[in-house]
Copies of this chain bind each other. A is one copy, B any other.
């Protein structure tokens, strides 16, 4: 009994590593945004030609979506990790310190989700909606975590979980904006400290 060999590659084998190429594409999108990254920028960074890119990834929009998946999987892993913290303050601390680590990188500064959510040309509207939807999902997860925290008596009675989720999200987004504007890591760190020092209920 033989396993059918139809699954092995049939034609000429691909000469590049799609994972490495996708990682390179992510760097370009991260640094320049969706519209700011031209196909020429992408193919140069990925080390492949345009037909190879189209054959492997579909088109620019599909490439961006795949890069966004990679970004969430690798760089935003701290998000799901932070939600597991035992207290609301612990969640906030994990969020802020994790974001600080990612946003203040050497080459890519800020958060791809925030960069991609910026208003740009009409043809990128679909991209914007996609990015905004993913951001909204993260904010929703944070809201549910804070609602649970309030039930646990982990938050003062007068604080609104919805507002708190929007507030923490805003601080993170603002951190991304400042990182993109060239703020140093220590400047962002001060920001984190203030936010933690004034966290409701200690």
A-side interface residues toward B, CB under 8 Å? Answer: 31-33, 35-36, 38, 110, 114-115, 117-122, 124, 132, 135-136, 158-160, 162-164, 166-167, 169-178, 180-183, 187-188, 190-191, 193-195, 197-200
Query: When the two chains form their complex, are residues A160 and B190 in contact, meaning their CB atoms are under 8 A apart?
Result: yes
Report Cα–Cα, A197/B180, bound state, in Å: 28
Q: CA A4 – CA B194 in complex, angstroms?
A: 62
Q: Is the CB of B175 within 8 A of A163?
A: no
Question: How far is A176 from B119 in the complex, measured between Cα atoms in Å?
Answer: 12
Docked CA distance A171–B172 (Å): 8
Bound Cα distance from A34 to B32, whole angstroms: 14
Docked CA distance A114–B119 (Å): 10
Do A119 and B170 contact each other (CB < 8 Å), given the known contacts A193-B163, A197-B159?
Answer: no
